[in-house]
Amino acid sequence: MATYLEFIQQNEERDGVRFSWNVWPSSRLEATRMVVPLACILTPLKERPDLPPVQYEPVLCSRPTCKAILNPLCQVDYRAKLWACNFCFQRNQFPPAYAGISEVNQPAELMPQFSTVEYVIQRGAQSPLIFLYVVDTCLEEDDLQALKESLQMSLSLLPPDALVGLITFGRMVQVHELSCEGISKSYVFRGTKDLTAKQIQDMLGLTKPAVPVHPARPAQPQEHPSISSRFLQPIHKIDMNLTDLLGELQRDPWPVPQGKRPLRSTGVALSIAVGLLEGTFPNTGARIMLFIGGPPTQGPGMVVGDELKVPIRSWHDIEKDNARFMKKATKHYEMLANRAAANGHCVDIYACALDQTGLLEMKCCTNLTGGHMVMGDSFNTSLFKQTFQRIFSKDFNGNFRMAFGATLEVKTSRELKVAGAIGPCVSLNVKGPCVSENELGVGGTSQWKICGLDPTSTLGIYFEVVNQHNAPIPQGGRGAIQFVTHYQHSSTQRRIRVTTIARNWADAQSQLKHIEAAFDQEAAAVLMARLGVFRAESEEGPDVLRWLDRQLIRLCQKFGQYTKEDPASFRLSDSFSLYPQFMFHLRRSPFLQVFNNSPDESSYYRHHFARQDLTQSLIMIQPILYSYSFHGPPEPVLLDSSSILADRILLMDTFFQIVIYLGETIAQWQKAGYQDMPEYENFKHLLQAPLDDAQEILHTRFPMPRYINTEHGGSQARFLLSKVNPSQTHNNLYAWGQETGAPILTDDVSLQVFMDHLKKLAVSSAC
């Protein structure tokens, strides 16, 4: 057997799954002693170019409470054409179509390498993709112009049969009817009035004239798709109209008096967008794209008043309970988010403004529906333009990298229960035998709705081992988990992706070494970080940090090798060695520290942290630092102040920022213009190398990171200095002596201090 590292990597590539533990402790008690919960990072729609979908439907276990899908772990009696469910042990007859199977003629889903299978469902009406643009018009002229261009560009990227709609808002909210000839027509709503879904639908004329509904017949949601046609039209029909409409779009004409913010009815606009889709395309994949250039200033969901002299809430205000509108606004957006999620619609927020725009209040709209959250300074920046363009990027098959209206269902073998999920999802509140009573993240259910997801959308799923200590699992027993993701593919097909995985059980007392070796510290760090961030949303920051610290200490106590009361003796095995460092950087990360961040920025960072895959998440926790110098090829260096040297160029990737930092000497050389001299061509190449690498990252990353080019002593160098481990500060500079690195002016503890302290606590018998 290969190393665990290889095993983990192989599993990740095949199934998009990484577990914190790859050998599972076999009893509840032992599992809780492992500190890091049994959990996995799951990327449900991980791109698998090598995995062609099968064109038939999955075979389900016939037990009504199970309905697990036939998978390679099932025992099959080829002669009797029977299979035994590996979750509930129900014996099932194969359907007639499987009459010809045998050991040599197996369907794909029985082959071990197909632990992940994708099925295409042929039945059911296919509905086109729906894009509803919700556009703020309280923008500066050039901002609006840039936004209009981006929107028009996006139209050209949409498939011709996609349905599009347009809502614009400022002081009023306008729902544009797109099919009008000779006159442009829009429905206008007051921006201050909270409307119920029914009112909105009545006012838009979406409700059918009262026809008595037969109680016996369930309502068919897509019975009359034509009703909606006024506001959502196939792009090929109204391409010209919509282009003209966007072209004619003017700034909000209502005068903004001196000292006031423009009146912006974001809350009502979003409410109408949600209501419109709810009334016309319930349970159909749709994307609401909200573009805002400032905070909502009136009506339900207002975040700040229109008086400019009253600034928008800060963390300070929130702590002092001084944010007047926050609770009410949050409630409003949560209500909308839940409604959108219930109907399978996802909400994107593109917020471009120098000041805050109320992302804190609106975050649930994207977080609960799986929408994108993009934050920029202006619509007229490449950051926004390219990020927005990347939404419509296509995969190797020419399909959009987006899927809609997904439900993720988790089935576990009976020793396990599912405790919750953390990610861009909402609970579907499906109780079942495999639902744990303890909740971690969004729990109490075995199914979640993910309204919008892409190949990188990743959830953390947490489990609980429920096997009692006195009921040992037979040697070699394996626990199994099945992830079933129903979703609407961007080609409008309904698909089901099924991933079934199994891991060995091990008795923690006798086989702790096995378990220890199978620890995936990267996955564990991310999973713990997600838990921490999830807690931080509702708890005070210091509490979360304390909790994280305690978990870390307990983990070190459990798995460290040390003599009691002797910190110097403390050792951690390879599979744990990096974990404390991740935790150190996590403590310093903007996900848990709000200092120096606005509430909007915190929300933005946390949003992305809760949905990116493992690699990106790790970058977010602990940024990567590359060094370019004449001393050798580019190499990753420690994220430490000691890495900041005069003759180096540093490239730091924090996920949100790409920072290129020229060391003091390099910067001087550059100023002197050596790179333009033919004899110093190698210097030119050296300067160019990090730029090329940065470009590579910029090209693939979503959202586009902020690209920062700075040098020693530059004001923007703060981005780098705030991230590196402050091993040298103004306090200990002379103690460390020498010329290496750059001192950081901070009182933060360095990794070294942190580790010392950790060791001391881990070996102490006091706790």
Which positions lie near another protein, rule CB under 8 A?
A: 172, 174, 177, 180, 182-190, 193, 195, 202-205, 253-255
Nearer to another protein, 138 or 592 (CB): 138
Nearer to another protein, 172 or 501 (CB): 172
The dihedral formed by the CA atoms of 689, 694, 695 and 701, expressed in degrees to the nearest 10: 160
In sequence order, the β-bridge partners of residue 711 are 662
SS3 722: coil
Least gap, CB of 247 to another protein (angstroms): 11
Least gap, CB of 190 to another protein (angstroms): 5
Nearer to another protein, 120 or 203 (CB): 203
Q: How many CB atoms lie within 10 A of CB 664?
A: 16
Dihedrals phi, psi of 214, to nearest 5 degrees:
-75, 120
Dihedrals phi, psi of 273, to nearest 5 degrees:
-60, -45
**Element containing residue 561 per DSSP (H, E):** none
Nearer to another protein, 187 or 325 (CB): 187
Least gap, CB of 260 to another protein (angstroms): 16
Distant-in-sequence, close-in-space partners of 477: CB < 8 Å, separation ≥ 6? 26, 504, 505
Nearer to another protein, 275 or 599 (CB): 275
The one-character DSSP state at 519 is B
253 within 8 A of 181, measured Cβ to Cβ: no
Least gap, CB of 171 to another protein (angstroms): 9
Distant-in-sequence, close-in-space partners of 470: CB < 8 Å, separation ≥ 6? none
181 within 8 A of 189, measured Cβ to Cβ: no
Least gap, CB of 222 to another protein (angstroms): 24
The CA-based diameter of the chain, rounded to the nearest angstrom, is: 87
Residues composing the chain: 767
Nearer to another protein, 190 or 513 (CB): 190
Nearer to another protein, 248 or 679 (CB): 248
**Element containing residue 96 per DSSP (H, E):** none
Nearer to another protein, 241 or 499 (CB): 241
Least gap, CB of 230 to another protein (angstroms): 10
Nearer to another protein, 201 or 458 (CB): 201
Least gap, CB of 250 to another protein (angstroms): 9
Least gap, CB of 430 to another protein (angstroms): 38
> How many Å apart are CA 407 and CA 487, to the nearest integer?
6
287 within 8 A of 132, measured Cβ to Cβ: yes
Least gap, CB of 292 to another protein (angstroms): 21
Residue type, 691: L
Least gap, CB of 466 to another protein (angstroms): 54
SS3 84: strand
44 within 8 A of 453, measured Cβ to Cβ: yes
393-396's contacts with Cβ under 8 Å and 24+ in sequence apart are 395/47, 395/455, 396/49
Least gap, CB of 358 to another protein (angstroms): 24
Nearer to another protein, 249 or 368 (CB): 249
> How many Å apart are CA 276 and CA 484, to the nearest integer?
30
Alpha-helical (H) ranges within 655-709 are: 664-672, 681-700
| 405 phi-psi bin (left φ>0, alpha ψ -120 to 50, beta other) | left
> How many Å apart are CA 63 and CA 85, to the nearest integer?
9
Least gap, CB of 579 to another protein (angstroms): 58
Nearer to another protein, 202 or 306 (CB): 202
Which residue carries 């919750």 as its tokens? 420
Nearer to another protein, 245 or 523 (CB): 245
Nearer to another protein, 9 or 196 (CB): 196
302 within 8 A of 296, measured Cβ to Cβ: yes
Least gap, CB of 426 to another protein (angstroms): 30
> How many Å apart are CA 166 and CA 172, to the nearest integer?
14
Residue type, 255: P
Least gap, CB of 521 to another protein (angstroms): 58
User: Which pair of structure tokens corresponds to residue 762?
Assistant: 């881990």
CA atoms within 13 A on the CB side of 543: 9
- Chain centre distance of CA 209: 42
Distant-in-sequence, close-in-space partners of 399: CB < 8 Å, separation ≥ 6? 489, 490, 491
Least gap, CB of 186 to another protein (angstroms): 5
Over 153-182, what HEC string results? Answer: HHHHHCCCCCEEEEEEECCEEEEEECCCCC
Nearer to another protein, 113 or 226 (CB): 226
Nearer to another protein, 232 or 323 (CB): 232
